[in-house]
């Protein structure tokens, strides 16, 4: 085996240390999920369980109605993620491929949305959703998620679309290709790495979002997994082992999405930065 250069060795040490630091809270989360409430409060946090409570995961799934909450989160994510990315892709395509006169001002206006904290928009959003009867509905929450997600998605796709050679457009138009055909059959397939990156980031953000879901979904049967896990918190006590078990179960869909799209993740960011 070839000897590693000192710089490369230091890099591997750094990323390994960083990964271990990130895994520490995950380890304690897993450890807590295998304890009873008495074991958790009667022993140090780092101590192994007196008896491994593997049944906590089954109990958390049944008592916490995690199946219903996961279904709600999945419905919202499956609709919001592709729809939001499609809208952002249309915006990026129009700004980069159609010789739009006001390209830079419109692009900066869209990106400006990333600087506005959503907390500042809560009151207007509540008033607006009440007027259109979309308060406490998945549809209303999906529209809000799409609105807040478009700036970041447009930023990534704009940079990637800028890096696609214009020769592809010229060749397609010579063959009589329309703008819609150019977008659907040429630009989107070429931009698949960036889109895969966005799918991971957007799904993760949508799945884990808590505050907006807590405010705009009040019916228990409509709550998402992040708000549903709070059902383990009672008025006078909280069942932390069951809550941690629910948290670990809620991570599984996100992990699955990442494993499916992870091979495009780095390429997507590389294209966005290059553009």
Q: What is the pLDDT of residues 26-40, one digit of tens each?
A: 888 888 888 888 888
Q: What CA–CA distances, in Å, run from 253 to 61, 77, 219, 260?
A: 14, 11, 23, 11
Task: For the chain, give the mean pLDDT.
Answer: 85
In a domain, 49, yes or no: no
In a domain, 214, yes or no: yes
The conformation of residue 218, written as its DSSP 8-state character, comes to -
In a domain, 37, yes or no: no
The share of the chain scoring above pLDDT 90, in percent, equals 34
- Residues 56, 226: Cα–Cα separation, whole Å: 18
- Residues 29, 253: Cα–Cα separation, whole Å: 18
Contact 160, 194 (CB under 8 A): yes
- Residues 76, 111: Cα–Cα separation, whole Å: 24
pLDDT at 186 over 70: yes
Question: Confidence class of residue 20 from pLDDT cuts 50, 70 and 90?
Answer: confident
47-79 burial, b at 16+ Cβ within 10 Å, e below that, comes to eebeeebeebbeebbeebbbeebbebbeebbeb
Q: Please state the domain count of the chain.
A: 1
In a domain, 99, yes or no: yes
In a domain, 32, yes or no: no
pLDDT at 2 over 60: no
For residue 147, give its domain range.
Answer: 63-274
Torsion, CA 85, CA 274, CA 170, CA 104, rounded to 10 = 70
Q: Which residues pair with 23 in a beta bridge?
A: none
Give the residue-averaged pLDDT of 5-21: 82
The whole-number pLDDT of residue 157 equals: 92
3-state secondary structure string, 16-67? HHHHHHHHHHHHHHHHHHCCCHHHHHHCCCCCCCCCCCCHHHHHHHHHCCHH
In a domain, 212, yes or no: yes
What CATH number should be reported for the domain holding residue 198?
A: 1.10.3720.10
pLDDT at 273 over 70: no
In a domain, 97, yes or no: yes
The whole-number pLDDT of residue 116 equals: 86
pLDDT tens-place string over residues 58-78: 988 888 888 899 999 999 999
The whole-number pLDDT of residue 75 equals: 95
pTM of the model: 0.83
- Residues 135, 50: Cα–Cα separation, whole Å: 46
pLDDT at 160 over 80: yes
pLDDT tens-place string over residues 77-103: 999 999 999 999 999 999 998 887 888
- Residues 28, 14: Cα–Cα separation, whole Å: 22
In a domain, 23, yes or no: no
């Amino acid at each position: 085996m070839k000897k590693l250069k000192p710089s490369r060795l230091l890099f591997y040490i750094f990323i390994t240390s960083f990964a271990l630091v990130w895994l520490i809270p995950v380890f304690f989360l897993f450890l807590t999920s295998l304890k009873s409430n008495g074991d958790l409060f009667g022993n140090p946090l780092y101590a192994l369980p007196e008896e491994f409570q593997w049944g906590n995961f089954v109990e958390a799934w049944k008592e916490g109605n995690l199946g219903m909450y996961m279904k709600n989160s999945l419905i919202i994510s499956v609709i919001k993620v592709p729809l939001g990315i499609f809208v952002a892709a249309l915006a990026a395509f129009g700004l980069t491929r159609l010789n739009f006169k006001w390209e830079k001002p419109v692009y900066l206006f869209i990106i400006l949305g990333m600087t506005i904290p959503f907390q500042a928009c809560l009151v207007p959003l509540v008033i607006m959703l009440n007027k259109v009867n979309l308060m406490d509905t998945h549809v209303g929450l999906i529209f809000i998620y799409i609105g807040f997600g478009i700036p970041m998605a447009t930023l990534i796709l704009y940079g990637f679309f800028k890096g696609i050679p214009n020769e592809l457009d010229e060749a397609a138009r010579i063959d009589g290709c329309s703008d819609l055909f150019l977008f659907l059959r040429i630009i989107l397939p070429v931009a698949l790495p960036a889109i895969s990156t966005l799918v991971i980031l957007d799904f993760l953000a949508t799945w884990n979002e808590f505050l907006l879901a807590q405010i705009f979904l009040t019916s228990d049967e409509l709550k998402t997994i992040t708000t549903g896990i709070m059902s383990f918190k009672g008025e006078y006590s909280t069942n932390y082992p069951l809550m941690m078990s629910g948290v670990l179960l809620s991570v599984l869909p996100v992990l699955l999405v990442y494993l499916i799209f992870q091979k495009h993740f780095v390429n997507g960011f590389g294209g966005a930065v290059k553009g």
